[in-house]
């Protein structure tokens, strides 16, 4: 319901476009230009609250205009015997007034119209006209009932609208809250990632610095005879390894920035998945030999499609290096096949496996399964980059794993990206 004294001066459908306060503000600003406020302040009325002043102006201005219109009509119909058009017009004015400004304003309009009609029709008469009183009583009671009913529906509409609005606000609040939680989570993950990255960048640098420092000291203090070439080679090899690791981290960071800003593009060309896998296997051969890990590739024929060679090799490298890292030295199997439309690559290890809950998040950015800290080196970004490469090729990646039994990563790549 509309509260006592509450004025709604605009049709309901305009609610979202025009607020009541704005309308009053405008009227007030307008009146400031034309009303002698200085004079009013001299009379002690200068501190009239602006909104109240504009409300007053609107309610009386509007009703007076309505009543003025009826007055003009009454003048025209003065000579007419049947006054019903006058009452109908008056009632229309009251209805408009009730719809636009509410019950109080509609009552004010009917009262004004009542007095105007009364004064006008009785102006020159001396005796009492009973039929006029009856007509006016009918008019005023009709106007009150109509205004009340309109105000009631307006009130109900208002409640419904407020409820709708409340629901909308509640929905957006829930949405905002969810977004806030996600953003907080993302910021937390990013901060953890940054501290991890700083640590990972610092470690190889410290190792290199210590090695070089030691070597320089040996050269400076001890005689060169005590400093052997194999020793120097060992230091240099170590430095080379650390630099390779640093380059990998920096490349991963660059890839993340390319992916998250949507700037990673593919250079699609005819490629053979089997040949690319063998190339990756070759790059791991030394490590596999050193770690005594058996790697078997099952692939009968070339599996060719239009893929980005560099990115596909990067994808295989990421999954194979994980299989080695988390594979506990046990054999690794790779299977490559093709059907009518897709190439399929399965990399299977028999290592630590992944907890079912963690399987859902390992493809997310900055996510590592807990308890993996013992497997040195890892930013938790390899699988994110891999899944993005697969996605960009229009393919699919998934994992099946049983803790302590091993993991199987399956990648399907369409021969032609649509």
Residues that bind ligand ADP (CB under 6 A): 318, 322-323, 326, 349, 351-354, 362, 368-369, 372, 378-384, 407
H-helix segments, 222-348: 229-260, 273-290, 309-325
What's the rounded Cα separation, in Å, for the pair 153 and 158? 8
Please say which residue, 44 or 370, places its beta carbon nearer to ligand ADP.
370
Helix (H) or strand (E) holding 291: none
Please say which residue, 100 or 320, places its beta carbon nearer to ligand ADP.
320
Q: Can you state the percent helix, strand and coil of the chain, rounding each to 5? A: 65, 10, 25
CB of 360 to ligand ADP, least distance (A): 11
CB of 351 to ligand ADP, least distance (A): 5
CB of 365 to ligand ADP, least distance (A): 9
- CA–CA distance from 213 to each of 208, 217, 221, 226 (Å)? 8, 6, 12, 16
Nearest to 99 by CA among 139, 149, 137: 149
Please say which residue, 70 or 385, places its beta carbon nearer to ligand ADP.
385
Kind of pairing between the strands at 269-272 and 332-338: unpaired
Question: Under DSSP, is residue 399 helix (H, G, I), strand (E, B) or coil?
Answer: strand
Tell me the two tokens of residue 294.
Answer: 């058996």
Please say which residue, 46 or 356, places its beta carbon nearer to ligand ADP.
356
Decide if 359 contacts 401 (C-beta within 8 A).
yes
Sequential DSSP letters for 113-177: HHHHHHHHHHSS--S--HHHHHHHHHHHHHHHHHHHHHHHHHHHHHHHHHHHHHHHHHHHHHHHH
- Determine phi and psi for 347, rounding to 5 degrees: -115, 120
Please say which residue, 343 or 380, places its beta carbon nearer to ligand ADP.
380
CB of 189 to ligand ADP, least distance (A): 13
Please say which residue, 135 or 372, places its beta carbon nearer to ligand ADP.
372
Kind of pairing between the strands at 295-298 and 332-338: parallel
Strand partners, 402: 406
- Determine phi and psi for 362, rounding to 5 degrees: -65, -20
CB of 368 to ligand ADP, least distance (A): 3
Please say which residue, 71 or 326, places its beta carbon nearer to ligand ADP.
326
CB of 352 to ligand ADP, least distance (A): 5
Please say which residue, 175 or 377, places its beta carbon nearer to ligand ADP.
377
CB of 409 to ligand ADP, least distance (A): 7
CB of 233 to ligand ADP, least distance (A): 30
CB of 417 to ligand ADP, least distance (A): 24
Please say which residue, 262 or 370, places its beta carbon nearer to ligand ADP.
370
Nearest to 311 by CA among 250, 269, 368: 269
């Amino acid at each position: 319901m509309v509260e006592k004294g509450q004025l709604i001066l605009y049709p309901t459908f305009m609610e979202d476009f025009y607020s009541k306060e704005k309308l009053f503000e405008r009227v007030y600003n307008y009146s400031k230009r034309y009303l002698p406020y200085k004079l009013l302040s001299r009379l002690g009325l200068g501190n009239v609250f602006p909104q109240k002043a504009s409300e007053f102006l609107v309610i009386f201005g509007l009703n007076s205009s309505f009543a003025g219109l009826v007055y003009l009509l009454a003048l025209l119909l003065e000579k007419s015997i049947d006054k019903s058009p006058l009452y109908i017009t008056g009632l229309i004015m009251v209805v408009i007034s009730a719809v636009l400004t509410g019950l109080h304003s509609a009552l004010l309009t009917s009262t004004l119209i009542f007095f105007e009609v009364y004064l006008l029709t009785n102006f020159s008469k001396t005796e009492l006209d009973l039929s006029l009183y009856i007509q006016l009583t009918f008019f005023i009671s009709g106007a009150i009932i109509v205004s009340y009913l309109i105000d009631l529906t307006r009130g109900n509409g208002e409640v419904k609208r407020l409820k709708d609005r409340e629901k909308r606000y509640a929905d957006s609040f829930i949405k905002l809250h969810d977004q806030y939680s996600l953003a907080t989570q993302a910021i937390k993950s990013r901060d953890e990632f940054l501290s991890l990255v700083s640590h990972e960048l610092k470690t190889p640098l410290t190792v290199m610095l210590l090695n070089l420092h030691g070597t320089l000291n040996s050269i400076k203090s001890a005689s060169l005879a005590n400093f052997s070439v194999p020793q120097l080679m060992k230091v240099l090899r170590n430095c080379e390894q650390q630099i390779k690791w640093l380059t990998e981290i920096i490349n991963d960071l660059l890839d993340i920035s390319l992916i998250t800003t949507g700037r990673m593009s593919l250079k699609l060309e005819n490629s053979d998945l089997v040949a690319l896998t063998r190339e990756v296997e070759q790059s791991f051969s030394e490590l596999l030999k050193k770690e005594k890990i058996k790697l078997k590739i099952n692939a009968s024929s070339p599996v060719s499609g239009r893929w980005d060679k560099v990115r596909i090799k990067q994808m295989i490298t990421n999954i194979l290096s994980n299989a080695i890292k988390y594979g506990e030295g046990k054999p690794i199997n790779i299977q490559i096949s093709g059907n009518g439309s897709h190439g399929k690559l399965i990399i299977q290890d028999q290592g630590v496996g992944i907890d079912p809950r963690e399987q859902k998040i390992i493809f997310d950015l900055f996510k590592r399964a807990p308890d993996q800290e013992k497997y040195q080196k890892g930013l938790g970004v390899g699988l994110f980059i891999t899944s993005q490469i697969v996605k960009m090729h229009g393919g699919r990646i998934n994992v099946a794993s049983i803790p302590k039994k091993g993991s199987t990563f399956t990648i399907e790549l369409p021969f032609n990206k649509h």
